[in-house]
Amino acid sequence: MSALAKKARHTPPKSLGFLFADWTAWHCVVPSGFDLGKPFILTGWQLLNAVDFYTVRADASYDVRRPLQGSAYKWRRGQIVGGQKLGKSPFGAAVACFEGGGPCVFCGWAKGGEVYRCSDWGCGCGFEYEYRPGEPMGMPRRTALVQLLANSEEQTANVYRPLQTMIRNGRLSDLMTVREGFIRLPNGGRIDPVTASARSKLGNPVNFALLDESGIYTRRSGMFEVADTVLRGVSGMDGRMLELTNPWDPMDASFGQATYESRRDDIMKYFPRHDPSLDFTDPKDRRKILEFVYKGSPWVNLDAVEATASELLERDPAQARRFFGCELVQGLGSYMPEQLYDSTAVDRDPPPEGSEICMGFDGSQSGDWTALRAETMDGWRWTPTYGPAKRPAWWNPREWEGRIPRSEVDACVSELFGKYRVMRFYCDPHPWETQVDEWSERYGEDTVVAWPTNQVGRMYDALVRFREDTADGTTTHSPDPTAKLHMMAARMVAKPGDRFVLGKPSENQKIDISMADILAHEAASDMRALGWNGDQGKAFVFSDYDEGDWHGANGSIF
């Protein structure tokens, strides 16, 4: 029986994590530092996550002919998020050892007195573990296939290097052999490091995958797709996956972020967050935050960490807060602070028909989105809807066979001009010059105005005004998650004269709704400067609406 389980003040979880902790302390060694070569004993957050990740489902049953593997556990996969040098990589190496040669497969429930002996499985190290009544029992896989996923060859060393040290200096020589580029396991098993460049290894059978720094696996680097491929592979083999990562930049839309934001209830997530009232820029609060983040990692020198964090705060505060404060913050170059954007969200109904509004339009041909946003006289912005199905006025080409449905966009604009008193409509003309000219003829050249966003000076002024008006509450917005995604992706791109325009961090991240949003606010701001007060004209009644006009590219009615 585990000494850890004996010390528990209440009934311990039904987990193979206690067996994992004792097995690891016997077989693995500390891979570096002053404790080099000493038994690798799980402490604090490591033990907590080990017990949680290896918790067995209460209804799990054992079939000697076909034992359950990943499906025996409560969690299908897991994620551990922590600060820099928390000890995630050595912990990951220990997990890889256990998955490669340890008793990680559920093999029934103990009645009490049963003993796991390494000698029964070809390991002469002398390790034994007595189960307590009702505890899940474990056995090694017959053939273990483990992959260590990382963004680059250098990054694979984060886990692979301590793993090699544990094998060479610990009690694992009967089970594992370090070879050139992989680790050999019994019965043809192996542990392989995998990167985006090592695509020949993708699709191979895999029982367990360890993802190091999944918070930087993006679509732009190709690692998001690699992680998806590995996830499909472990699922097909009834295996599991564990992610280890620092907090990510929300601008990057990484695989780690997708995992954390998933609403599934079969993913273990460990991401301790400090008291939000504490300010990382305040020295006293910062010390409290560091003590919280690194609790359970006694090898971390908080004075050294604090010195580096203080230095980084002077030139890159987002980096300091992410890696040492364990906070989710945008990196340098982001246009709109997330906290500011969230604080100006106002949940309310769109204005009634006949209301005076201003609109902004950002169009594309293909690849990027086309979007339309609107602003009320009192500064509230939202995405209008159109058609019987009340579709939002943005168009993702992936949903339209790779092209923007111009007839749908035109029908949407027509409906909005009929429903509201559109006082000013600013449109980025490229590549919609012909359509913008047609709208200008139809609704008036003083109402529909071409507003090119590639004019740096003009665009810079609009961007500064938009952000300042957001900061002082002059403009607010609906709590639209799609619009927020575009706004959070917007990056400042430096231009001569200390000016900037907006860009996107990758082709897979879009900012088109944000561009339409800024144009809508610019139109409304200009109208207010002209004395817009809600009594500028008589409402035009939209009466020629025909349901038959609302057809998508595939002929479906919305």
Residue by residue, DSSP assigns 284-346 as: HHHHHHHHHHTTT-TTS-HHHHHHHHHHHHHH-HHHHHHHTT------TTBSS-HHHHHHTB-
CB pairs under 8 A, 24+ apart, for 223-231? 223/149, 223/151, 223/196, 223/255, 224/254, 224/255, 224/258, 226/149, 226/194, 226/195, 226/196, 226/199, 226/202, 227/149, 227/255, 228/255, 229/202, 229/203, 230/147, 230/149, 230/194, 230/202, 230/206, 231/77
Mean pLDDT, to the nearest integer, of 187-200?
A: 79
Give CA–CA dist 421/353, Å, rounded: 8
What is the per-residue pLDDT for 165? Answer: 94
**pLDDT digit string, tens, across residues 524-544:** 999 999 999 866 543 333 333
* CA-atom Rg of the chain in angstroms: 29
- Taking only the tens place, the pLDDT of each residue in 412-444 is 999 999 999 999 999 999 999 999 999 999 999
All structural domains of the chain: 3-270 (3.40.50.300), 283-330 (no CATH), 341-549 (3.30.420.240)
CA distance 11 to 535: 71
- CB of 306 within 8 A of CB of 285? no
312 compared with 103, residue with greater pLDDT: 103
- Determine if the peptide bond prior to 90 is cis (ω within 30°): no
Q: Binning pLDDT at 50, 70 and 90, where does residue 550 land? A: very low
pTM of the model: 0.66
**Mean pLDDT computed over 182-206:** 81
pLDDT value for 558: 28
207 three-state secondary structure: coil
pLDDT given at position 328: 87
What mean pLDDT is predicted for residues 267-276?
A: 95
Q: How large is the average pLDDT for residues 53-59?
A: 97
d(CA 436, CA 441): 9
Distance from C-alpha of 52 to C-alpha of 437, rounded to nearest angstrom: 62
3-state DSSP of 426-489: EEECCCCHHHHHHHHHHHCCCCEEECCCCCHHHHHHHHHHHHHHHHCCCCEECCCHHHHHHHHH
Say what the pLDDT of residue 57 is. Answer: 97
Confidence label for 356 from pLDDT (cuts 50, 70 and 90): very high
Q: Is the pLDDT of residue 230 over 60?
A: yes
Paired tokens of 445: 């050249």
Cβ neighbours of residue 414 closer than 8 Å, sequence gap 6 or more: 542
Give the model's pLDDT for residue 227: 93
* Confidence grade of residue 553 (pLDDT, cut at 50, 70, 90): very low
